[in-house]
Amino acid sequence: MGTVVDAVNQEVNGSLPTEKKVKVVFVLGGPGSGKGTQCTNIVEHFGFTHLSAGDLLREEIKSGSENGTMIQNMIKEGKIVPSEVTVKLLQRAMQESDNDKFLIDGFPRNEENRAAFENVTGIVPEFVLFFDCSEEEMERRLLGRNQGRVDDNIETIRKRFNVFVESSLPVIEHYRSREKVHVIDAGKPIEDVFKTVKNIFMTA
C-alpha cells in the first residue's frame, strides 16, 4: 500500500491543468492575533482567495477519499501530517481555482513547511503579513470568545503560543532577511489594523 504522500501525488498530479502563474501571500500570526478577520477583509477588498491549510486537511478527511482516510489515521495516531501532503492540497486548491491571487493562512507553520512549499510548487510568496500581537492581548481575546471551544482554555492557549513562537518565528526571520515581511501591530482595533493592511496591498 502506498504512503499518504504517494496518494496525494497521484491524485494531484493526475488532475491538474497546466501550471498557471499565481501570486501568494502568507498570513502568519499567533492564535487570537486576528488573522481570520483580516483575511476576510482582504478577500472582500482585493479579490484574493483565502486558503487555510487546516481547513483543506479537514475537508480532505470529510471527503472520505483514500487520501483523507490516511490523513485521519495519521492524526489519530498522533503523527504529524507530512509537509508535502499539506502543500499538495494547497497546490491543488490553487490550480482548481479560477483566481490567481491567494492568501495562505496559518502556513507555513515551520521551516520544513516553508521549504516543502517552495520546492513542490516552485512559488516564493510575494510577501508575508505577520500579525504581531502581545501574548496578553491574544490570551484576552481567545478567552473572551470562548464559546465551548475545547482549545480555548488557558493551558492550551499558552501551549499554542509556545508552539507558534518556536516553530513559526524562524519562518518569519527567513523572509525578513529577504525583505518580504510586513509586520502589523495586531493589538490595535480591527479598523486600524485593516488600514495598515490596505496600505500594504495598495503599495505592494
State the binding site for a ribonucleoside 5'-phosphate: 58, 79-81, 106-109, 149, 160
The secondary structure of residue 184, as a DSSP letter, is: E
The secondary structure of residue 28, as a DSSP letter, is: E
Is the Cβ–Cβ distance between 84 and 31 less than 8 Å? Answer: no
Q: Which residues are annotated as a binding site?
A: 32-37, 58, 79-81, 106-109, 113, 145, 149, 160, 188
Of 67, 63, 58, 81, nearest in space to 14 by CA? 67
Q: Which residues are annotated as a binding site for ATP?
A: 32-37, 145, 188
Q: Which residues are annotated as a binding site for CMP?
A: 113
Q: Sheet of 127-132: strands edge to edge?
A: 49-52, 101-105, 23-29, 127-132, 181-185
3-class DSSP state for residue 124? coil
Give bridge partners of residue 104 from the DSSP assignment.
Answer: 26, 51
Give the integer Cα–Cα distance in Å for 133 and 149.
21
